[in-house]
Amino acid sequence: MSPAITKTQHSTADLHDKRERLLREAGLKNPSQLAKIASERVLTEEEEALAYELESIAFLLGEKPLRIN
Amino acid sequence: MSQRGKLGNQAEVFAQQLSDTINSVIDGKHELMLQAVQGRYVLEPKRRADGEKMPCLDLHLPESTKRIGRLQFRYEMTLDHQHEYLKVVLSNFAIRAEADGTALIRLDYEPINMQGTRAPVSHWQIQAHHNALANWLTLAHATQRRSGNQSGRVDKIHLAVGGERFRPCMEDLLHLLVTDLGVATKNGHMRAIQEGRARWRELQLRSAVRDNPAIAAEVLANCGYDVTPVEPKASRPDKHTHY
């Protein structure tokens, strides 16, 4: 692959840890809390970025599709 | 090679082609990140620093080094229903404002099983405002809760574009950035856009044929081909009925 692409192979444990950390840093217990915020108001850029990360993690883990925003 | 290995190769080829197109069109050097876990892939711009809020590509106007906006995108990919080909199961594209990251123009493709019944599987959303349309949306919402929206937000309207198979591609968004939004480009950018678009449409055409091989055979017969079914696969007409 060209240097313009970085490939990262995750383990499922890495992704679970990452999700836990992201939620903890944002002061959230689970992704549905962010989905509830998105239904009530426009998400900030930070929240939207977090939503994308959580959606991607759910997809990579093969979980039920998650759509926050 | 294992099925997962083949899929990995297809994902890498897709990432490579997309990277080549982007780097042939938008001025600057743009890096992408391909994340993988057990046959599932996410492709998006590479985050340049831990503190970067949203991984995006920089956009600027010609002869200006000041960033005017950002291009954000994300593809989620896995195997298709026949477990043979790489399938994009979701894609999000957004042209974002430099100041606060607001998505000014969005192009989303979401699987039918992920969304509610309102939004089309592939749609544009535009950040805009006009009093007449805002009033219409609030009145519609007051009459029927599933229509319009309370705040009269025009960016909540989903403009349907071609469903699963005939939806626009990244190259269409790049074309919009170049022609209507005037971002700085590289020499030969239009050829890269056209080649990328042709690749995308060929892939989608192949998928459309697999969705309905009987129609494909009928059309080929009309074009003078002798098409004989050996082990014909079932049609998937649902792919062409979704909003």
Residue of B16, B53, B90 with shortest CB distance to A5: B16
Size of interface A-B (CB pairs under 8 A): 87
Which residue in A4, A60, A67 is closest to B37 by CB distance?
Answer: A60
Under an 8 A CB cutoff, do B32 and A6 touch?
yes
Tell me if A42 is assigned to some domain: yes
Domain boundaries, chain B: 3-121+163-240
Quick: pLDDT tens for B8-59. Answer: 688 999 999 999 999 999 999 999 999 999 889 999 999 888 778 889 999 9
User: What is the residue-wise DSSP string for chain B?
Assistant: --HHHHHHHHHHHHHHHHHHHHHHHBSS---EEEEEETTEEEEEEPPSSTT-SS--EEEE-TT--SEEEEEEEEEEEEE-TTSSSEEEEEEEEEEEETTT--EEEEEEE--TTTS-SSS-SEEEEE----HHHHHHHHHHHHH-TTSS-TT--GGG--EE-STTTS---HHHHHHHHHHTS---B-TTHHHHHHHHHHHHHHHHHHHHHHH-HHHHHHHHHHTT-----SSPPPP-GGGGT--
Query: Does residue A18 form part of some domain?
Result: yes
Mutate to test the interface with B, among A18, A48, A50, A68 (most CBs of B within 10 A): A48
Number of domains in chain A: 1
**B199 touches A: beta carbon within 8 Å:** no
Does residue B30 sit at the A interface (CB-CB below 8 Å)? yes
Stated pTM of the model = 0.89
Q: Mind telling me how many Å the CA of A28 is from chain B's nearest CA?
A: 17
Boundaries of domain holding A48: 12-60
Read off the pLDDT of residues B123-161 as tens digits, 9 standing for 90 and up: 999 999 899 999 999 999 999 888 888 889 898 899 999
User: Does A19 map to a domain?
Assistant: yes
Asked whether residue A6 is domain-assigned, the answer is no
Torsions phi, psi of B29, nearest 5? Answer: -110, 125
> In terms of DSSP bridges, do strands B159-160 and B122-126 run parallel, antiparallel, or are they unpaired?
antiparallel
In a domain, A2, yes or no: no
Mean pLDDT of A46-58: 93
Structure ipTM: 0.91
Confidence band (pLDDT; 50, 70, 90) for B92?
A: very high
| Res A64: pLDDT | 84
Answer whether residue A1 is part of any domain: no
Specify if A4 maps to a domain. no
Q: Is the pLDDT higher at A65 or at A37? A: A37
